[in-house]
Amino acid sequence: MNHLSRHNLLLILYILLCVLEITGTLVESQNLILVTKPLLMPALLLWFLNVIRFRSKFKNIITVSIVFAFFGDTFLLFAPKDELFFLLGLGAFLVGQLLYGIGFIQNINNAKQKADLKIQLLALVMFCVIYIFLLKSLWHNLGEFLIPVVVYGLAICFMGVAAVFRYNVVGKQSFWLVFVGALTFVVSDTFIAIDKFLYLSKMPYAETVIMSTYCLAQYLIVNGVVVYLKENKVR
């Protein structure tokens, strides 16, 4: 099997697993979810490693981030049985978000072009407004989860801001893929918070929306990373 065929098959595998997992949420098939959800990030990681064969520090950072997302997915599967798993999942995704952000900052540091200060300030304001508004809406419902949610919120804002800061310092295709992916990730996590703390895990179709946006976000971000690495061959 040639490189291109393997690449396409791995991407099709990821898409198929996403469809099956989302179907599982729609039909409320816990068995289907248990089988497919832990396989999402391994499939995406295999695709990523198959496409990018050369060594790179940025590639390693993204690889570890995907691995932590796998642990996050797996821990959250058992969150309904024990709140400890929700905290473990939150912690795993927090590390993943920080690694994404660190990787994007590395892109900026390696760039020859100057960043757009106006865009950077706009990004800071935008994510601060989103963060403050969401925290204000959830504040009285967070209880013992207050500190973990506040810290995680800062981590995903860091990732989102770092994604925006890549504007004008990386190729347009890579920027837009990562930027839209970061925003979609924010949407996914926002629905998690609203469902858990405002609707007490009873929001209609919440899990379907969460997983649809999550699967799309991860693919867009990783694909944006692939485009960047192919264009720059950074080590």
Whether the per-residue pLDDT at 102 is higher than 70: the answer is yes
Looking at residue 116, its pLDDT comes to: 79
Q: Which residues, 6 or more positions from 226, have their beta carbon under 8 angstroms from its beta carbon?
A: 48, 51, 52
What is the chain's mean pLDDT, rounded?
Answer: 94
Could you tell me the pTM of the whole model?
Answer: 0.94
Of all helices (H) and strands (E), which one includes residue 224? Answer: helix 206-232
Query: Which among 186, 222, 184, 192 has a CA at the least distance from the CA of 210?
Result: 192
Burial class (CB in 10 A: 0-12, 13-18, 19+), 41: buried
Give the tokens for residue 29. Answer: 């098939």
The pLDDT-based confidence of 162 (bands split at 50, 70, 90) is: very high
Q: Which residues, 6 or more positions from 121, have their beta carbon under 8 angstroms from its beta carbon?
A: none
Between CA 234 and CA 83 the distance in angstroms is: 41
Domain that holds residue 183: 3-232
More confident residue, 213 or 120: 213
Please count the structural domains in the chain: 1
The pLDDT-based confidence of 2 (bands split at 50, 70, 90) is: low
More confident residue, 231 or 233: 231
Residues 29-40 have a mean pLDDT of: 97
The secondary structure of residue 144, as a DSSP letter, is G
Of all helices (H) and strands (E), which one includes residue 28? Answer: none
Q: pLDDT tens, 131-141?
A: 999 999 999 99
Residues 82-87 have a mean pLDDT of: 94
Between CA 150 and CA 77 the distance in angstroms is: 22
